[in-house]
Chain A
Amino acid sequence: MKNIKTYLIAIATAFSFASCGDSLLDIKPKDKFTTDVALSTIDGLEGAILGVYERGRNLIESNDVCVYRSCQTDLVMAGTNLNDQAVFRAILNMDYQFNGSNNGVRDIWNAYYIGINRANLIIEGVDNVKMDQTASNIAKRDQVLGEAYFFRAYYHHCLVTKWENIVLADKIDPAGTIFLSTPDQVYPLIISDLTKAIELLPEAVAINSSGRASKGVARHLLSKAYMDRGEWAKAAEMAEAVVKDPQYELLTDLTQIFSCTNQDNHEIIFAWQFSANDDGHPQRITQQWYPLYDRINGVSRSFQGGGRPWHRISPTPYYWTLFEPTDKRLDAYHKRFWTYDVNDSVNDPLAAGKAIGDTVRPGDFTASVDLGDRLIEPTTNKYFEDGSFGKSVEDAEGFRNIVQYRVAEAYLIAAEANWRAGNTSKGLEFLNAIRRRAGVSDYSTIDQDIILDESARELAHEGGRWELLKRMGVLVERVKAHSPEVGSNMQNYHVRWPIPRNFVDLTRVSQNEGYTE
């Protein structure tokens, strides 16, 4: 018995002084890389660049902000169904909730900076990548680096046009002082990044996807940056380079540009890409535009009608006045008419005197809710999506690509840049190329209103209008003149967006003039 006690004491002593030390506590996650490991290989770089693309696409996945680029212009007004959408409504109407506390404003700002940081990690980490210096590896590395430069410029461009006073994030500097830079300080970075991107990126023709950044999209953005800076000749040169790029052409069949079955056509320079294979990332733009047509008795919800309609945003009456009746774009780019297509005696009875196939006319239906003719308000069809990608007619989400830049815009930039540089006749060539395709007569001269009107007819609702009006200094007057409801809220200071409230709180930078919150 004595022995047992001795043994026990010995064991106890051993246990008491046993120490596992730091090895026990030094635990690393099993399912995650640390960032430095992730960026140490060429495969890692190629994966990391997806995170840079993804931030730009991310905004299109959000119900609140997906169409923000189309808002606050002379071409749009509120739809009929915005009551419970405070964030969206504020961005669209610039009502009293359009301020730094608006979560949509914050999300947009944040997305761009997160994208920029991810690009910076690649730009700064690229020299540490361990790889064999084969031609194929070098090409891969250069492409990723070119993409990183392109997106760093793209995101800065988005920021500087909307906010003007922004943080210049040209390196990773988490501890550094945060201060705002002016456009004069930001544009040089945008231009130099794009110049590097043009060198590093492959030609568009080699890329085989309008979703991948190419020399073409970098040139296109650079032409826009030069326009912003008033460097007309350089802008013209870049825009013409895009127009002449053999990868791009103006499609003669206008209906093919935004077709669901021809998404990778030669009109498109860059599009945000979606896929039903990646169904956690749907686009949410389509339903924002279509009026609540399916509330009319005898009209069912259908792909042809526009799918599930939310009617958050709508073209202004002014917009429709811009078109000549013969303009091919009226039918190609728009959903203008609905037809009776169902007769369900209980749920969806056809009105007396109507037959299936008849076009729904204003005033010939009674709306269950007092929306009147706005139930058949014509709208853009540029975001049309059918069942091609697995979307059902009830789905609020879809998987079509969302066009960001197309070559028609390059034509219009080339037109304006040449005209402003003093070469009106050359400008007219580009302008009239667009006119002829639409089946309308040539212009013989150019002025700012002609550029604005043609741009509206060709590019409306695609997202560039706000920046164009702002660049020309006519944003406020145009909105007030042509979108009265929005215009009545619009103040001169709205040409700059409010810096997110929490960013101001965290950094003590100055809020843009005019915003109190």
Chain B
Amino acid sequence: MKNELKFGEFKTSKVTKLSSVFKMTVLCLILSHVFVLNSYSANEQRIIQEQESEMSDALSAQNKTITGKVVEDNGSGLPGVSVVVKGSTVGTITDADGKYSINVPATGKELVFTFIGMTTQTVAIGSQSQINVTLESDVVSLNEVVAIGYGSMERNNVTGAISSVKTEEIMKAAVPNVVEALRGQVSGVKISRGSGQPGSGVGITIRGKRSLGSDDDGINENEPLMVIDGVPFTGGNMSEINPADIQSINILKDAAAASIYGASASNGVILITTKNGSSGKAAISVDASFGLTNLAMKPKLFDGEGYYQLKKNALIGYGKSITGDTVDFVLGDVVENANYKAGKEIDWHDELMRQGTVQNASLSVTGGTDKFHYYMNGDAYLEKGIVYHSDYNRYSFRMNADYTPYSFLTIGARVQLSKSFADETGLTLYGNDADFGDFVGNTPLGITHNEEGVLVPCVKGDQFQYNPLYRYANSQVDRTNTRVYINPWFEVKIVDGLTYHMNAFAEQRSENYSSFYSSIYSNSTLGSEPGKNKMNVKLNETTTYLFDNILNYRKIFNDVHSVDATLVYGIQTYDAYTLNTTGEGSSTDLLGYYDISGVPSSQSTVSLSPDQWAKEYYVGRVGYSFGERYNLTATIRRDGSSKFGPGKRYGYFPSIAGAWNIQNESFMADIPEISMLKLRASYGIMGNDNIPNFKYLATTSNSSYSFNNTTITGKTTDPATAPNPDLKWEVSNQFNTGIDFSLLKNRISGSVDYYITHTTDLLLTEQVPSSTGYTSVMSNIGKTKNWGIDANINFAILTGDFKWDMAVNWAKDHNEIVSLSRYNVDADGNPLDDEANGWFIGQDIDVIYDYKFDGIWQLGEEAQAAAMHPTIKKYGPGDAKIVDVSGDGVIDTKDKTFIGSPTPSWYSGIRNTFEYKGFELTVLLEAVVGVEKINNYYGNLTGRDNQIKVNYWTPTNPSNEFPEPNSSKAYDFANAVNFRDASFVSLRNVSLGYTLPQKLVKKTPFKALSLFVRGNNLMYFTEFKDSYSPEIDPWNFPITKTWTFSAKITF
């Protein structure tokens, strides 16, 4: 009897069920906290008011009321400006017309007017009873406070190259990952998304590449260090951090700024500060958005007819003479033959993709008193991917709060819980990452279901043309991530100017990856036995601790000598283990991977992989500033890392930097057009220890052998892990010089930096001659040079009612290899290329060294073609013509040349912001120019699979673009033929917002209401069209574009 229960019908509910339970919990938590906090804050508010009224009673004789109006520089009243008596809790807010009235105690000397996006103004009260103020828009926040690592500094005094990004700009990008939101926004920071998988990470480099390492072992050696609230991020995915929780991002780009992070700093440091509450009534906001995602770009494929013609031409190209019925001859496959004759075809993109959606809802409460501040946010992000079974749901909860029980003591804590549920069934093929080749390669003449309506495993009679729908129905792959951390801190003011700050951190992250393949899932490729289901449950747990002690001394002597000194001692530890169980052949498919205990013990395996590292560091930094004109910062860090062997663990990372604030010189007083001019220069040393652990040791791995069908195991050397006791971190020496300026009352402002970096002792998996018994070793080899320019300029083009701001950033980075491994030297010690790895002295790290395409050999050129390719049989018309670089009349390896590089010549972002009466439109364009790649999406023109539609050569179509199809072999010199310019301009973000004017909002129960339409990744202008985006890594999840509609309501 046929089993009525099918796996596919059973499995769907799991993710949704669990996540909805979690959703409820988070909501309950949020609501209860909202309630408690709100009542608490209301209480506090009442207490303050009572205290104030008591005070006012006592001092009424000496109090006075001040009234006035706050206007913008165009003269219109500015509502919502905070007006506070300096040094007190007394304050008010301007009304809809910008008017205010405040009762000032006699002790009050100054009023402070603050408004987001405007320069804060402090006005002495004196004897005035009416104070009118014009606030100027704050194009560059000259006196903003910048996070610099283990402390902060006023922008004025900063000596290094630090870029800052505000939360508003992050939020305008409708993406769930804060790093992706930075895309195109910061000069010298290049962010790309190689995969459109919901919840996946993004690639980021600051000032280009220095390291040769690839991410083969899961580590990208060119990725910057991420630091969240002083804690270096130890792995996982930035998607687990809710962008809405972020207050500001500061990017430490040069050595002077970054060397404070020592051995991990050479790729730059991204400092992320999360939000905290500020004094005032509780502000409760609700953000809700709904969005639609679709393919960003859709490559053109051959349709049924085109595919048929390709197959036919491939047979002709092979030299077959077509006999009998042409269709029957070409389409031997029963399914294809029938569909072609019936005129039926399938567009696999339609079949395998759906309308993707994103939903985001968050509820935040923030506020505080003078002694207590809090910020709390609960957030749910739900994404339904454009590929079936590719959902990603993330829930996060954060609470940041601090309390000042005594004037000298502040205690606080940051707490976060985030949990994500991902359905990765649609991304997984036989236990590996799906390559999405089915979307392109599957025959348009195939089927998904047979005549009885049952899913078929393969879309035609070719066992390699999988039917993804069949896979989806017969497998289940889930990934759950939980990240919980608590980050308590306290700060003691010891004596005037001297504070001690303790930052402690403990995090637990668990990742649960489970997969299940039903008993009818095709077995031969999966490697399980016929008719047996196969499953895998993997649990990875990591624990991170950090403990920082920070002593800071800050004092101004004689009004001109300002000193800011910091000493840090800290440790960080990381401890991970992965428990992995696999099994096959449980008695039922209905329980999915939960039935792993039902697998016979002979068919199950367990493995445990622990991992660990620790760091210890001492940091010293002294900043000295004279008369707000001359600034000098010196830092040194002593870093110890367990990744290196005894004697190699500790290193020193010093830097020195100076800056001259020219505008504060007396001779500049006569030049009001220049409101800021600052020159900076720095030099420093940074390290890179971004390698796997224990690479300095000679460790063994398991090996097994069978004698008479009895398998025994032992420990043996691993060819890929030769020990290297001399292993140490990579060292980058960087010089940076820059200028910051602001002209015409901040109408034009910006900065330009030039840097040059010499990186030595590159950490790299080095090939070693196998006669040593090993093939590779982690080693410090070679040198690179890296230089570049990054610039950003902001223009306040129009002010007044209609405002137009433009921010332009532009960067160029250049890298080249100076020398390579000890094996790559000639007899005189001069550096030599390492062609096998594609590394060439004096060339870009990623340079493409290959043959150069020169069109297609045409009819009549038989003799020349054959003469140039004596070793390839029948090379002739229809085959690729290759440039004879060596000029010897024959194409061989001597004709390989440097044909291009994926490193851009320059990249840039242009952000235009237009504001008019509550409307705000922001448009961000990103340009990446001078990028070259080999487009691996092109097929091989054998006709076995469908492929990108290309104009291929046939005797009657003398194309010069692609060779003649040939059913027996892929075309030669494919890299040369498929080499393309991948430069692009992208319409990265568009954000249109409307904030209801206060007059209207007053009639609603809300304090503020804004509505937004936002688009991300909307359009690519590129020649690299035959792909899902010019940035995608081949065969990854297709890249998407997103439109979202959202509302932000504040109560």
Contact = CB atoms under 8 A, between A and B. Distances in A.
Contacts of B713: 47, 50
Given A12-B549, A114-B774, A29 B708 contact: no
Contacts of A130: none
B710 interface: yes
A394 to B, nearest CB: 4
A29 B693 contact: yes
Interface in A53-78: 53-54, 57
B571 A20 contact: yes
Name the residue in B649, B694, B717, B835 with the highest tally of chain A Cβ atoms < 10 Å from its Cβ.
Answer: B717
Contacts of A116: 771, 773
A281 B527 CA distance: 11
B667 interface: no
B975 interface: no
B332 A5 contact: no
Contact of A174 (B719, B772, B835, B970): B772
Contacts of A30: 610, 612
B527 A279 contact: yes
Nearest to B972: A96
Interface in B705-755: 705-717, 719, 722-723
Given A29-B694, A502-B767, A44 B551 contact: no
A211 interface: yes
B771 A25 contact: no
Nearest to B500: A12
Given A50-B713, A96-B872, A27 B703 contact: no
A347 interface: yes
B773 A118 contact: yes
Interface in B812-833: 821, 823-824, 826
B409 A275 contact: no
Interface residues of B, number: 88
Nearest to A506: B823
A38 B502 contact: no
Interface hub of A17, A24, A209 (most chain B Cβ within 10 A)? A24
Interface in B449-505: 461, 463, 492, 494, 500, 502
Contacts, number: 253
A347 B871 CA distance: 41
Most buried by A among B320, B694, B821: B694
B494 A50 contact: no
A190 B703 CA distance: 26
B708 A114 contact: no
A438 B759 CA distance: 70
A507 interface: yes
B715 A33 contact: yes
Contact of B836 (A16, A34, A369, A505): A505
Contacts of B60: none
A209 B706 CA distance: 10
A178 B770 CA distance: 10
Contacts of B606: none
B773 A54 contact: no
A278 to B, nearest CB: 4
A151 B547 CA distance: 53
A503 B770 contact: yes
A52 B717 CA distance: 10
Contacts of B698: 34-36
Contacts of B502: 12, 15
Interface in A1-19: 1, 4-5, 8-9, 12, 15-19
B708 A346 contact: no
A369 B716 contact: no
Contacts of B942: 83-84
B334 A347 contact: yes
Contact of A16 (B569, B824, B893): B569
A16 B708 contact: no
Nearest to B610: A30
Contacts of B767: 502, 506
Nearest to A489: B871
A114 B775 CA distance: 8
16 contacts: A12-B551, A18-B569, A19-B569, A21-B616, A22-B646, A24-B573, A48-B716, A84-B970, A114-B717, A116-B771, A117-B772, A174-B722, A174-B774, A211-B706, A278-B705, A370-B315
Interface of A: 1, 4-5, 8-9, 12, 15-22, 24-36, 38, 44, 46-54, 57, 83-84, 95-96, 101, 109-110, 113-114, 116-118, 120-121, 167, 169, 172-174, 178, 208-209, 211-212, 264, 273-281, 308, 346-347, 368-370, 390, 392, 394-397, 500-503, 505-508, 516-517
Interface of B: 315, 320, 332-334, 406, 408-409, 461, 463, 492, 494, 500, 502, 523-524, 527, 529-530, 547, 549, 551, 567, 569, 571, 573, 608-610, 612-616, 640-642, 646, 649, 693-694, 697-701, 703-717, 719, 722-723, 767-775, 821, 823-824, 826, 834-836, 871-872, 892-893, 942, 968-970
Given A18-B569, A277-B706, 6 more contacts: A22-B640, A22-B646, A47-B714, A95-B871, A118-B716, A167-B769
Top 10 A-B pairs, shortest CB-CB distance: A117-B773, A47-B714, A51-B716, A368-B332, A275-B706, A96-B871, A167-B771, A12-B500, A502-B836, A110-B770
